[in-house]
Amino acid sequence: MDAFGAISHGVLRQIADTPPENLDSIGTPILQCCSIKAINGAPGAPQRFRVVFNDTNNFIQGMIATQANEIVTSGQLKRGSICRLNKFQASFIKEKHILVIIDIDVLQEYGEHEKLGMPVALDAAKAEGEEEQDVKPQPGNITGGNFYGNGSGTKQQPQSTNQSTNQRALPSRSNGPSNGGSHGNIHPIDSLSPYSHKWTIKARCTHKGEIKTWHNKNGEGKLFSVNFLDETGEIRATGFNDAVDTWYDVLQEGSVYYVSTPMKVQFAKKQFSNVNHDYELTFEKDTLVEKAEDMGGVPQVRYSFTTIADLQTVEKDSTIDCIGVLSEVGETSEIVSKTTQKPYSKRELTLVDNTGFNVRLTIWGKTAESFDARPESVVAFKGVKVSDFGGRSLSLLSSGSMSIEPDIEEAYKLKGWYDGSGRNEQFASHANSMPTVGAATGGGRDAIHTIAKVLEDNIGMGDTTEYYNIKASILYIKSESFAYPACQTQQPKPCNKKVIEVEEGNWRCEACDRSWPRPDYRYIMSISVCDHTSQIWLSGFNETALQIMGMSANDLMAMKEEGDEKGVTEAFQNATCQSFIFKCRAKMDTYGDQQRVRHQIQYANPIDFPRESKKLADLIKLYGDSDSLFVC
């Protein structure tokens, strides 16, 4: 290939004179790479590379977007290489034109120390009133000198130092109302730094966190954080106090916005963020935010998934993205932080994928309380922390996000696999790396025990809470006291405390200091279950009891208050003889002067009989070489 003839001569000036929204009209310019330099960023941040490109007339500085770093780290892109820019963005920063390279191909290697033409800086000053001349060099102008010095070809005449400059920024955007009708220069997120001034980004809000408050000796305040994403990268932005009141309700997940300076850019605090960027933003008093009517050119949430099988190779405390099919959904429970003494809601989920593994993932706070995805849904998580508690487990960070049935290729593949064969497969746990086909697997958090095994092993008799799974049928449900009157408060989180009827039509909650005309009845049940080995009493709360009873406690209590004893009796009779896989927790409890083990249902999943049949068949195969047969 004739390197000189292949170059897109003069294209850099054309790029500089083209509005950002019309850059597609430039096509895929071919340039020469003159320089590559690694840039030191924040500790733990991805490597960044600065490049210089040449079109034989001009040269321009650029940045390689982090998702394109491989072109440099693999050694494909070198000084002198002839390259085609498949995708790029242009910006004007500190009086200089900058390119951000998103996708690039290397077409040919050229002399490492040879440049094509006699390029000058794109922003070089021109004499006042002087028309721009066509300085396109002829083939004879190809020099063999170093990139940083002129060769033996025709020299570029130096410009007079007293000539006035005529530097131009990229044309302003004006396709929407915004304080004068212009959005200024659209700046790529990937190249934001503390040295960037007077910029505007066009980005999608991919995550909005909850409002958090703090109280300490220096005072009190509140904050929230959002993540912004464009084609080049993602960055976190935080607003404090007044910014919370101004922008929290304006910014909505999934929408695209123009965000403009003034805005503080500083090194990212990686311990509070899952975003892969050296810097983060802080809203200031006069920050400008405007919703973009045109959402084109801005990607949706970008994931980098780790399969469940690969979690074993991921370092503890790493932050990853994952996707899986929801196989189990636990009930919401509450824990108290040892450091802050504040209560937090939590819910445990179990995910499976087509690698044959499952994993336990914990979600927190309002996300746990409002979670409503049903088993067999595909759920994608961005920003989950890897833990080694009981093997490999995951926890959704406060800066992370969750998408149920996302419109992405990975979700469709998982759904097709699960509907085709996945629901009948057995899955290994990172806790024991063995299939959970029953008690024969020898324990593990996901193993199914017999009731006799639970009683024989004295599960729950120790000082710590223990968990186990059993497959059992309901023998009897106590109907004497199946529900309690609860508070109706739902915000900022459900109260669920017991209320007292101080007078007719007046139910008082001491915890919330509020009164209600009627209570919200919630189940609290004592259930006897059995399998082929033994029987055990379990306590169940509202979410589990709703699934077992098939009606709300309010409806069942209304039947009782209206004197429909037959209907109440039938409701309890219909609930018996059902079979579930119960996930339980066992803990020593003191009642009166006596200690006892309390077995509490965390959640109950209906038995998938085709899957259970396959498990039993595989269990039988374990004994396939035996001289005798047995019946399960």
HEC string of 420-488 equals HCHHHCCCEECCCCCECCCHHHCCCCCCEECHHHHHHCCCCCCCCCEEEEEEEEEEEECCCCCEEEECC
Q: What pLDDT does residue 332 have?
A: 84
Write the class of the CATH domain 189-291. Answer: mainly beta
Residue 305: DSSP 8-state: B
Q: Classify domain 448-482+524-612 at the CATH topology level.
A: OB fold (Dihydrolipoamide Acetyltransferase, E2P) (2.40.50)
User: 16 versus 359: which is more confidently predicted?
Assistant: 359
Q: What pLDDT does residue 459 have?
A: 87
pLDDT tens profile 53-77: 988 888 888 888 887 888 888 888 8
Enter the pTM of the model: 0.44
Q: Which two tokens mark 289?
A: 């935010």
Domain definitions of the chain by residue range: 11-121, 189-291, 308-429, 448-482+524-612
Which of 105, 88, 84 is CA-nearest to residue 18? 88
Q: What pLDDT does residue 185 have?
A: 66
Q: Classify domain 308-429 at the CATH topology level.
A: OB fold (Dihydrolipoamide Acetyltransferase, E2P) (2.40.50)
User: 177 versus 196: which is more confidently predicted?
Assistant: 196
- Superfamily holding 11-121: Nucleic acid-binding proteins (2.40.50.140)
User: 441 versus 526: which is more confidently predicted?
Assistant: 526
Q: Does residue 482 contact residue 621 with C-beta atoms inside 8 Å?
A: no
Q: What pLDDT does residue 271 have?
A: 65
Q: Does residue 298 contact residue 203 with C-beta atoms inside 8 Å?
A: yes
**Residue 218, pLDDT above cutoff 80:** no
pLDDT band at 187 (very low <50, low <70, confident <90, very high): confident
Q: What pLDDT does residue 57 have?
A: 86
Q: What pLDDT does residue 340 have?
A: 61
Residue 8: Cβ within 10 Å count:
19
Q: What pLDDT does residue 624 have?
A: 58
Q: What pLDDT does residue 158 have?
A: 39
Q: What is the mean pLDDT of residues 580-602?
A: 82
Of 173-187, 364-378, 518-532, least confident by mean pLDDT is: 173-187
pLDDT tens profile 288-337: 899 888 777 777 777 889 999 888 888 888 888 999 999 888 888 877 76
**Rounded alpha-carbon distances, angstroms, from residue 156 to 117, 149, 153, 310:** 10, 11, 9, 57
**Residue 148, pLDDT above cutoff 90:** no
Q: Which two tokens mark 508?
A: 């008082």
Strand order in the sheet with 514-516: 500-503, 506-509, 514-516
pLDDT tens profile 96-138: 778 888 889 988 887 666 778 888 877 643 433 344 444 444 4
Which of 321, 360, 566 is CA-nearest to residue 445? 360
Q: What is the mean pLDDT of residues 271-297?
A: 82
Of 217-226, 432-441, 606-615, least confident by mean pLDDT is: 432-441
In 301-387, DSSP assigns E strands to: 319-329, 333-336, 343-352, 357-364, 378-387
For the chain, the residue count is: 632
pLDDT tens profile 242-257: 999 999 999 998 889 9
Establish how many alpha carbons lie within 13 A of residue 339's alpha carbon, considering only the half-sphere containing its beta carbon. Answer: 0
pLDDT tens profile 442-451: 444 457 889 9
* Equal fold, 11-121 vs 448-482+524-612: yes
**Rounded alpha-carbon distances, angstroms, from residue 304 to 27, 33, 226, 410, 587:** 29, 29, 19, 11, 39
Mean pLDDT of the chain: 78
**Residue 625, pLDDT above cutoff 80:** no
Does 262 sit behind a cis peptide bond, omega within 30 degrees of 0 on the bond before it? yes
Distance CA 330, CA 342 (A): 22
Q: What pLDDT does residue 336 have?
A: 73
**Residue 142, pLDDT above cutoff 90:** no
Q: What pLDDT does residue 337 have?
A: 67
Of 193-197, 269-273, 418-422, least confident by mean pLDDT is: 269-273
Q: What pLDDT does residue 527 have?
A: 94
Distance CA 57, CA 128 (A): 20
Which of 375, 347, 368 is CA-nearest to residue 606? 375
Distance CA 297, CA 299 (A): 6
Distance CA 82, CA 109 (A): 6
Q: Which two tokens mark 81?
A: 């290489």
Q: What is the mean pLDDT of residues 387-413?
A: 83
